[in-house]
Amino acid sequence: MARSAKDEERMNLRESWKTKRILHAILPIAATLLLLNAPSSTMAKAQAASVEPHTKDAVIAADDGWDKAEGTGDANFIDALLLPNYRSISSDGSIHDKAAIIASARKNAGSAKRAAYEEQWRAAHPVLVSVEIAADTAILTFALDKPGSSKPIMSCDIFVYQDGHWRAIYSQHSEAEK
């Protein structure tokens, strides 16, 4: 049986109506997905814009920032700086992982007294820093006077350049004879 022109028109209207319903259902989802992806692309641009130079000065700046972050309790800075498998060997032979370093720093968070002490100590104990870079690895060495001891602490921090940033992976601190 042949369809009449009126039946064809009704069928076309139904199909058009179904298409509109589908579009009304899909458009909000598509818009949401676009909005959700916008911050990540903006974030990626911000990260790309904040690439650290592949230089000795940038390694020293990262280490200085780390020192200040430990004194002020800036756990976010330390978390971003230390690689997940970071290890530190203290002068007494104890081993500390990333979580232990962050927990120690958190104890100093918000302590103006601790921050002032750290700043005063740094001013009274100048440190001679040396950096050597081989490919994407930097070795930063320095010596500190240990309070109450005639033996200085010789320290070494190993940094790896990843994704445009210097990240710490290992530290070693040893007492040395003068």
Number of folded domains in the chain?
2
**Mind listing the pLDDT tens digit for each residue in 103-154?**
999 987 877 787 787 777 777 777 788 999 999 999 999 987 766 667 788 8
Q: Which neighbouring-strand residues pair with 88?
A: 96, 171
**Mind listing the pLDDT tens digit for each residue in 8-34?**
666 655 665 555 555 455 545 544 444
Quote the CA–CA distance of 75 and 79 in Å, as a whole number: 6
| Residues 9 and 27 occupy one common structural domain | yes
CATH number for the domain that contains residue 110 = 3.10.450.50
Distance of CA 81 to the CA centre of its chain: 5
| Residues 1 and 37 occupy one common structural domain | yes
Q: Which domain holds residue 34?
A: 1-50
